[in-house]
Amino acid sequence: MNRSELINLIFKKKSFLCIGLDTDLTKIPRHMLDHEDPAFEFNKVIIDSTHDLAVAYKPNFAFYESNGTKGWNSLTRTIQYINKTYPCQLFSIADAKRGDIGNTSQQYARAMFDPASSGMDFDAVTVAPYMGEDSVKPFLGFQGKWIIVLALTSNKGADDFQFFKDHEQRLFEQVLSKSQRWGDDGNMMYVVGATKAEMLEDVRKIVPDHFLLVPGVGAQGGSLRDVARYGLTKECGLLVNSSRNIIYASSGIDFAGKAREEALKIQQEMAGYL
């Protein structure tokens, strides 16, 4: 999915909602555990009940890797289901936070983007830029794919390093500035946490047109209103992620309907901002 297709999808659905598939087998409704592959079946129900309200889905790899080969199978089946059932209707993000020396990053990129190799074919992957250009560029070698660079995260520990100031720029601002040499606004996005919403104004001074993936709305306390106020562009420029508030809205047999209710609340608010 290229930039113009993503923008068209956002305005067609009147939504910039990304739903995080942080599927924890200890938290999903107990009756789902009767399935042979409960994580996939749970994801499938969530996707089917919210696909018209969301523009993107973001499986967090940790929740699948922790279950070994079964988890990888659930993850692979999930992305294959999205691509087969809703072609060109949903943007998929591999929340893997990869980043290593060049030849290793090349293999990570194949895992996310080469279905002949891994069975997975995501639109985008989250990337850690700490090791620099040669650790990131292998992900940009796949035509039509996106990388989402960690810039300013929503966790408490972000203060440990990301605000370190050298001369005129803080570290996250240096990441934003320097990484623009590696890609452009048609293949690169940035992670900027919703709990740092007021910082979006500073972020937009450096990357006025790039899409931002914004986690932290909902369970982490981020404000969608503030994110829209400081981060929206004329082409939207945002994908706002909500995970637990939606997928765990209920632990009963009504979980699909409750997930849809929560997603609808967010989508309706987003429609107003758009």
- Residues with a catalytic annotation lie at 97
3-state DSSP assignment of residue 190: strand
CA–CA distance, 249 with 111 (Å, rounded to integer): 31
Long-range contacts of 175-184, Cβ-Cβ distance < 8 Å, separation of 24 or more: 175/129, 175/149, 175/150, 175/151, 176/151, 176/203, 176/206, 176/207, 177/206, 179/129, 179/136, 179/149, 180/207, 181/133, 182/133, 182/136, 182/137, 182/140, 183/140, 183/147
Residues sharing a CB contact under 8 Å with residue 219, sequence separation 6 or more, in sequence order:
242, 243, 244, 245
- The DSSP code for 251 is S
**Helix (H) / strand (E) containing 226:** helix 224-231
CA 33, CA 211: separation in Å to the nearest integer?
A: 37
Six token digits for residue 64: 């699948």
Residues 6+ apart with CB under 8 A from 43: 21, 23, 59, 74, 78, 81
Q: Cα–Cα distances in Å, from 71 out to 41, 75, 77?
A: 12, 6, 10
Of the candidates 174, 189, 210, the residue with the CA atom closest to the CA atom of residue 140: 189
